Amino acid sequence: MAQYRLSISGMTCDHCAESVEAALNALPGVTAEVSFETGLAQVEAAAGIDPAKLIDAVKARGYAAQLVTDPAGPATGGNGGKLHIAIVGSGSGAFAAAIKAAEAGATVTLIEGAEVIGGTCVNIGCVPSKILIRGAHIAWQQGHHAFEGLPRQTPTVDRRAMLAQQQAMVAQLRHAKYERILESNPDIHLLRGWARFASADTLIVSRPDGAEETVQADRILLATGARPAIPDIPGLAGTPFWTSTEALATDTLPEHLIVVGGSVVALELAQAFLHLGSRVTLVSRSTLLSREDPLVGERLKRCLEEEGMHIHLHSEPRRVHHENGRFTVTTGDGEIRGDRLLLATGRRPNTDSLQLAKAGIETDRRGAIVIDDHLRTSVPHVYAAGDCTNQPQFVYVAAAAGTRAAINMTGGDATLDLSVMPAVVFTDPQVASVGLSEAQARQRGLAVDSRTLELENVPRALANLDTRGFIKLVAEADSGRLRGCQILADQAGEVIQTAALAIRKGMTITELADQLFPYLTMVEGLKLCAQTFSKDVAQLSCCAG
């Protein structure tokens, strides 16, 4: 019989030690005792057993292990006594995890094949799109505001100058929030290349120069993000269509932009180009924002059409033709002709090149990595966060998931609760929601009551001369507990977090109505809407408490 001593890291309780001990004792010819207090496993194994099998058995349970050759040596992990975490990706979820893991004493290898780090949000998503949208809003307001005595004028738009400023801000934020962290944190290292699994604990990284490098780690986090999904439309292949990436990077304005899609990206970019002076036709296979309360899509459609957008609902492209710089899109409603075509029909996870099957990692039908509330995949020591998973595709969800994954990878116990998750669509007016819609609540078997407050009853909206939209609250019928909120309004994104906190704290409609809200703010609309459950707010004076 051979005697081995293993150092185990990542255990947080006696139950962890019992789990490791069971894994070792399940091996033929092995008898083991594991102590959480010392972090050691005392193993007796039949002659000829490869010690690597002992380590693999521990890793299969989600812990790190190494042989201790000096009986008096410290019980620490591999990598010179530090836990080694490999993170595939360099976006918000990846960096949140890297920072947290380094704080916990781990060394981190970030693996990224793209030319720039930072992922979608800072480079080709949230940041550049909101800069574009804000600039477009200002351009539109110059010619379409409602205030008398202020001349209305159509501005001359220099898209090239706008783009230069936009990309300069992108570069500035990328350096401040990503590159500088690498420069200042010695425990986070960047490895350039594209990763794929060779086994559950081994990654092969294809370097830009064609060389390959093997990376072994105690824990692995997958944070590879997502990319635009391209629909299979006859005639589309080979044409110079846009995704959101190309739309945000263009230095010219289309004369007539055709947009395919009816959700967040499609609506935000369609309206931005409309505001900058392009004609816009939008084609959606369903309603606008079909996952929201139906009233949201109906009223937003009205707002967009009043601005001049042409919208075709329940319609899909059947064929695309491109010739002489012009697109012809054939739909059930006829042919639409324009000089640019933007496809914004969703995103697909970047998992197809990871060779997840070699690690035994489960995915859903879209290829998204399936994770639990601890961010674990089907392989215990492999975690995932962000848009490559089956979680909602929001950057703040990715960052929160990355942080919690790092806590769990370094021995902690953190979960991600998405039951109260606010979301915003940056159209004008904005769309914001949190919690359950009325339909969702009823689908769950909840008896609910709801009220919808038109913005003409919100003093700040009246002062802004902009009463487009509404605020809707959904509450349990018996207890009055707030369960959901949907808003279509200017600054809805600034209002929704108050509703989120109220839901999180279990507030009732009565409690919300009794709160003090500052007068002439949009958020006061929440109080007024709550008051409509028991009174007619049209009969109240200003600031009525």
Q: Which range has the worst mean pLDDT, 54-58, 158-162, 295-299, 454-458?
A: 54-58
Three-state DSSP at 429 gives coil
Considering 16, 162, 507, 522, which one is annotated as catalytic? 16
The confidence score (pLDDT) of residue 11 equals 78
- Find how far residue 454's CA is from the centre of its chain: 31
Of the CA atoms within 13 Å of residue 412, those in its CB half-sphere come to: 17
- Annotate 143-174 with b (16+ C-beta within 10 A) or e (fewer): eeeeeeeeeeeeeebebeebbeebbeebeebb
- 485: annotated active-site residue: no
> Is the pLDDT score of 304 beyond 60?
yes
pLDDT at res. 10: 74
Q: What is the pLDDT of residue 77?
A: 42
pLDDT above 70 as % of the chain: 96
pLDDT of residue 7: 79
Q: Is 543 tagged catalytic?
A: yes
User: Are 292 and 374 a contacting pair, CB within 8 Å?
Assistant: no
pLDDT at 323 over 90: yes
Q: For residues 530 and 359, give the distance between their C-alpha atoms in angstroms, rounded to a whole number.
A: 51
Q: Which residues contact 284 (CB under 8 A, 6 or more apart)?
A: 260, 261, 262, 266, 311, 312, 313, 314, 315
Segment (H or E) for 190: strand 188-192
User: What pLDDT, on the 0 to 100 scale, is given for residue 39?
Assistant: 76
What is the side-by-side strand order in the sheet with 30-35? 30-35, 40-45, 2-9, 64-67
Taking alpha carbons only, the member of 55, 61, 64 closest to residue 84 is: 64
pLDDT at 72: 28
Catalytic residue among 11, 309, 485, 522: 11
Lowest mean pLDDT among 62-71, 193-202, 377-386: 62-71
Catalytic residue among 1, 4, 121, 303: 121
Judged on CB neighbours under 10 Å (0-12, 13-18, 19+), 74 is exposed
**Rounded CA separation 86/69 (Å):** 26
pLDDT given for residue 70 in this prediction: 34
Active-site residue, selected from the candidate residues 303, 309, 485, 543:
543
Exactly one of 383, 388, 409, 542 is catalytic; which is it?
A: 542
Report all structural domains of the chain as residue ranges with CATH numbers, in order of start. Answer: 2-77 (3.30.70.100), 84-123+163-228+348-409 (3.50.50.60), 244-345 (3.50.50.60), 423-539 (3.30.390.30)
CB 174 within 8 A of CB 117: yes
Predicted confidence band at 539 (pLDDT cuts at 50, 70, 90)?
confident
Give the active site residue among 126, 169, 303, 421: 126
Whether residue 529 lies in the annotated active site: no
What secondary structure letter does DSSP report for 431?
Answer: E
pLDDT score for 73: 29
Mean predicted confidence (pLDDT) in 82-100 = 97
Q: Which of 219, 522, 201 is nearest to 383 (CA)?
A: 219
Count the Cβ atoms, other than its own, within 10 Å of residue 446.
Answer: 17
Active site residue 303: no
Tens digit of each residue's pLDDT (9 = 90 or more) over 436-459: 999 999 999 999 999 999 999 999
Q: Which two tokens stand for residue 523?
A: 């958020």
Q: In this structure, are residues 275 and 139 in contact, taking their beta carbons and an 8 Å threshold?
A: yes
Question: pLDDT for 388-422, tens place per residue?
Answer: 999 999 999 999 999 999 999 999 999 999 999 99
DSSP per-residue string spanning 349-378: ES-TTS-GGGGT--B-TTSPBP--TT-B-S
CB 378 within 8 A of CB 360: yes
**What are the tens digits of pLDDT across the range 475-487?**
999 999 999 999 9
Question: pLDDT band for position 80 (50/70/90)?
Answer: low
